[in-house]
């Protein structure tokens, strides 16, 4: 895949995603907030955010039909069409189709003021092709660089999860490979926060990329032992989402009121975060800086995707990515049992 700039990678693997041009920062813009996740963002503010990220050199962008029922795709496409198509990396997802409904609720799945559609799950070959084609129409663009199969996991599908996974392997991924041959897309992957489902797919199918949310962070290391080594060995490049674990690693424990995985954090996570905060304070390291920089040290992780809602959040992340962190900080985390000994650090 052609990228707009050279991305710092490890293990001699060719880059898939683009670092922030000029700075080399491995930071991309995630599009969920552009779909009005939890609260509304105006069209003007959404456009200003994308333009500000672009001005800072951001060249990797992600969206999905799920994000505001197409609203994120519409907004992101409108902002990116002013730039040459080969100058950025754009991803979207398949697995959900949008059906028009004048009476559709304007708040669904955590998104508010959404477009008048209802979602239906569809991992069939025909549904997969339709999803990509409709995403391209909403974006107003002729191709996608990356397409992820979105949420093919037990949390989303319950007792149907095994059948869904079988269909993903037998229908969704082969259809995406066909579209790759046709030039509609360039790379294929999964978009999930479930480590086990990725391992199951890798037993039977090849992937180019993975968008993994929340399972490799300063707090949650559940992808470290099995999944990340497999990705590194197979050349599966990872775009990592959820590095703040939906809030707790951005805000800190907040006296027991922080969010983890979009729910009130359990005591285990609150206590662990509070201990990390003490180490941060001792070394003068902002918690956000440590959370953003830590996962990028792993050979399989190529870029961090930030779901910023405001320009100030994006600007802060850029600053935190550049904040110096002394080696003694990471050593102290290990000494206190807050980082696995085998976890690589910057």
Q: Which residues are catalytic?
A: 67
Instruction: Check if the beta carbon of residue 173 is closer than 8 Å to that of residue 128.
Output: no
Instruction: Check if the beta carbon of residue 280 is closer than 8 Å to that of residue 317.
Output: no
Percent of the chain that is helix, strand, coil (3-state, to 5)? 45, 20, 40
Instruction: Check if the beta carbon of residue 27 is closer than 8 Å to that of residue 20.
Output: yes
Q: How far is CA 130 from CA 63, 65, 182, 197, 288, in A?
A: 16, 12, 15, 24, 39
CB under 8 Å to 181, separation ≥6 — which residues? Answer: none
Which ranges of the chain would DSSP assign to H, the alpha helix?
43-55, 71-80, 125-139, 154-157, 161-167, 173-182, 195-202, 227-234, 248-251, 267-283, 287-293, 311-322, 327-335
- Helix pair angle (311-322, 43-55), 10° resolution: 20
Cα–Cα dist 137/179, whole Å: 16
Instruction: Check if the beta carbon of residue 86 is closer than 8 Å to that of residue 4.
Output: yes
Instruction: Check if the beta carbon of residue 86 is closer than 8 Å to that of residue 2.
Output: yes
Angle at 303 between CA 44 and CA 189, to 5 degrees: 95
Q: What is the dihedral of CA 338, 343, 344, 346, to 10 degrees?
A: -30
CB under 8 Å to 138, separation ≥6 — which residues? Answer: 65, 70, 73, 74, 77
């Amino acid at each position: 895949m052609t990228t707009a700039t050279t991305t710092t990678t490890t293990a001699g693997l060719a880059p898939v995603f683009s670092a922030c041009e000029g700075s080399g920062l491995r930071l991309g813009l995630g599009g969920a907030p552009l779909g009005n996740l939890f609260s509304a963002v105006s069209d003007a503010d959404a456009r200003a955010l994308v333009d500000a990220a672009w001005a800072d050199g951001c060249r990797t962008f992600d969206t999905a039909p799920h994000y505001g029922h197409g609203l994120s795709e519409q907004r992101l496409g409108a902002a990116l069409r002013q730039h040459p198509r080969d100058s950025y990396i754009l991803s979207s997802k398949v697995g959900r189709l949008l059906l028009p409904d004048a009476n559709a609720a304007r708040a669904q799945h955590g998104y508010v003021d959404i477009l008048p559609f209802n979602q239906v799950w569809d991992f069939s070959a025909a549904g997969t092709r339709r999803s990509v084609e409709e995403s391209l129409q909403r974006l107003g663009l002729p191709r996608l660089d990356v397409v992820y199969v979105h949420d093919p996991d037990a949390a989303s599908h319950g007792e149907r999860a095994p059948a869904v996974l079988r269909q993903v392997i037998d229908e969704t991924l082969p259809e995406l490979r066909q579209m790759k041959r046709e030039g509609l897309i360039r790379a294929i992957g999964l978009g999930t926060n479930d480590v086990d489902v990725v391992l199951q797919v890798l037993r039977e199918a090849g992937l180019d990329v993975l968008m993994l949310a929340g399972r490799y962070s300063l707090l949650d290391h559940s992808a470290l032992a099995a999944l990340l080594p497999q990705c590194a060995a197979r050349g599966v490049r990872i775009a990592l989402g959820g590095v703040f674990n939906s809030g707790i690693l951005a805000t800190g424990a907040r006296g027991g009121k922080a969010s983890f995985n979009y729910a009130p954090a359990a005591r285990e996570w609150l206590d662990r975060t509070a201990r990390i905060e003490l180490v941060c304070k001792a070394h003068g390291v902002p918690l956000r800086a440590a959370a953003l920089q830590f996962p990028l040290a792993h050979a399989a992780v190529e870029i961090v995707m930030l779901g910023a809602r405001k320009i100030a959040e994006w600007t802060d992340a850029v600053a935190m990515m550049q904040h110096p962190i002394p080696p003694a900080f990471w050593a102290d985390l290990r000494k206190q049992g807050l980082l696995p000994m085998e976890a690589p650090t910057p």
